Chains A and B, each alone.
Chain A
Amino acid sequence: MQNYYQKEIETMPVEEMKKLQSEKLVKQVKHVYENVPYYRDLMDKKGVTPDDIKGIEDLHKLPFLTKADLRDAYPYGLLAKPLSECVRIQSTSGTTGRRVVAFYTQNDVDLWEDCCARAIVAAGGTNEDVCQVAYGYGLFTGGPGLNGGSHKVGCLTLPMSSGNTERQIQFMTDLSATILCCTPSYAAYIGETLQEKGLGPDDIPLKAGIFGAEPWTEEMRRGIEKTLGIKAYDIYGLTETSGPGVAFECSEQTGMHINEDHFLAEIIDPDTGVVLPEGSKGELVFTSLDKEAFPLLRYRTRDICVLSRKKCSCGRTLIKMAKPMGRSDDMMIIRGVNVFPSQIETVLLNEGYQPNYQIVVDRKGNTDTFDVNVEMNADQFTDTVSGVTVKEKALANAMKTMLGINPTVHLVAPKSIVRSEGKAVRVIDKRKLHD
């Protein structure tokens, strides 16, 4: 089936694509150099001028941006357009330090929605479809991105946001939703709930799902496909570059096509920063070629993956990225939310605890469990059980405020958290996230 949203771009010969990327890159570097003093300084320090960038072959000369830069430049330091030309912000979860605030002009929103539209069309979406968007709406990019893409395709859009599973199922069945967009764990949860109600794949009209924002395995995909009776498509993105739709899966389900006319991808060695040849495993780096308001050049995603230009049966020539295989930092994605151990540490210090803790993440059924063990000291200990549990709840609430998701906190005895070679193991992730 020839299902493209922007066929000319999606099937463009590779040499033509590289030419297009080169032209855009030259323009974009000038735009950033002229309008973003923060990045201009980085370029000056490296001795690179916009004139040195004549095409994508010169990309490696540009300095990297990292999450630390985003923090340093928060909130306006990487903005490249006057606020009067911006129409939207989106943000990641996290209240201090790690929060990313990205700005969009109307054109940025349009191009982002086009990217999501490509993903929906690749999953078989047309204007005959009813698209149920069960990603969170608001600052999180999931809901707004897929909502916009669904409009562009002309689907009847159900802006459900996440949660309230009963209502999700009611709308799904009453209004014959054919495409579901949400996190894979929520899709699995909806599937389980349907099963509990005695409803099978034949009882719901869904045919496809577009699932992303958190790691999931092939096994999980097959499970969701079976319980919902759909084909499940992966989608990738990050707020720093726009949101979902940076890359999307086609019917071949062997990796995600990167919308490389907008996002130029590289794989680097995370330790040395050296660009690695195609097919190598390394850290994924993106350069936004068209973003006007928040154009990040060589942004290090910390996702470890592999790029491939192998010919795809769908006819798209867009380069493909494998599902990320891990991280080059300590970030975890729990229930779709980015969590850094340092955030837990900040909460503990704020609340008067020593930063002696251990995070235990697991997956029960298809839902992430998130437990934090914290060593207590004599000040926190009392002679009643309620005295301890009240403190556990207060700490869990403080963490929820910081992270946006609710952990279960367990106060434990001093020195009871296992130290290996004197260093405490901060994170135990028992989930099987990567194949």
Chain B
Amino acid sequence: MSLKQLNVFVENKKGALVEITETLASHDINMRALSIADTEEFGILRLIVNDNETAAQMLADKGYLIKTTEVVGVKIGDAPGKLSTALAVLDKEDINVEYLYAFMARTEKHAYVVLRVADNAQAEKALEDAGYHMITDADINKL
């Protein structure tokens, strides 16, 4: 089970994001979800895309500092309290979430949550045991 996240180091300067998104668009890369962690000096752009390898290659060719990491993707219901219930599962197992972001499914009445934890396998097992479905790169490509 794996969901690949593409991380891009972005300097805090004008036009940085435009260049990245234009590069991805020009190669027909579709972004499913993104989040940005930013400090005064730099940002880390985290992307879930339909074709991680191509995206990584394109950005690397442009001189961007990139890194692909594996994160946990979990499908949750799209209703009040659903995220909270899922997080409670992890909390019960003492699994610390370093960051998370979520996106909506287009057709089904579902949301997807991307989680960064220390141990993916442990978090995935906890969630699956609680009846959750994980999403993988293959699922992302079908979305």
Contacts and interface: CB of A to CB of B under 8 A. Distances in A.
B65 A383 contact: no
Contact of A385 (B44, B64, B66): B44
B8 to A, nearest CB: 9
Interface string A397-435: 000000000000011111110000000000000000000
Contacts of A388: 42, 44
B41 A381 contact: no
A384 B116 contact: yes
A410 B42 CA distance: 9
A381 B7 contact: yes
Q: Select the residue from B10, B11, B38, B67 with max chain A CB neighbours within 10 A.
A: B67
A170 interface: no
B75 interface: no
A194 interface: no
A177 interface: no
A412 B69 contact: no
Interface in B48-105: 63-67, 69, 98-99
A377 B7 CA distance: 13
Contacts of A411: 42
A248 B69 CA distance: 61
Given A382-B67, A384-B98, A413 B46 contact: no
A43 B41 CA distance: 55
B9 A413 contact: yes
A381 B68 CA distance: 10
A413 B39 CA distance: 14
B37 interface: yes
Contact of A383 (B5, B39, B63, B64): B5
B11 A412 contact: yes
Contacts of A390: none
A248 to B, nearest CB: 44
Interface of B, secondary structure class, is strand
B37 A384 contact: yes
Contact of A378 (B44, B67, B98): B67
A224 interface: no
A140 B46 CA distance: 48
Interface in B1-16: 5, 7, 9-11
B99 A384 contact: yes
A385 B39 CA distance: 8
Contacts of A410: 41
A381 B11 CA distance: 13
Given A412-B42, A413-B11, A416-B11, A385 B37 contact: yes
A226 to B, nearest CB: 35
A383 B7 contact: yes
Contacts of B64: 413
A304 interface: no
Nearest to A416: B11
A224 B7 CA distance: 50
A378 B59 CA distance: 12
B13 to A, nearest CB: 9
Interface string B26-53: 0000000000011101101010000000
A374 interface: no
Interface in A359-393: 376-378, 381-385, 388-389
B11 A383 contact: no
Nearest to A386: B98
A384 B36 CA distance: 10
A389 B43 CA distance: 12
A61 B9 CA distance: 58
A66 B17 CA distance: 51
Contacts of B116: 383-384
B69 A383 contact: yes
B80 to A, nearest CB: 29
Contact of B65 (A377, A384, A389): A377
A416 B11 CA distance: 9
A279 B115 CA distance: 71
Contact of B44 (A377, A383, A412, A416): A383
Contacts of B41: 410
B130 to A, nearest CB: 25
Nearest to A387: B44
14 contacts: A378-B67, A381-B9, A382-B69, A383-B5, A384-B37, A384-B116, A385-B39, A385-B44, A413-B10, A413-B11, A413-B64, A413-B65, A414-B65, A416-B11
Given A383-B46, A383-B69, 14 more contacts: A376-B65, A378-B65, A381-B65, A381-B66, A382-B7, A383-B7, A384-B99, A384-B116, A412-B11, A413-B9, A413-B11, A414-B65, A415-B63, A416-B11
Please provide the 9 A-B residue pairs with the shortest distance between their CB atoms, ordered closest to farther.
Answer: A383-B7, A385-B37, A383-B69, A381-B65, A381-B67, A413-B11, A413-B65, A413-B9, A381-B9
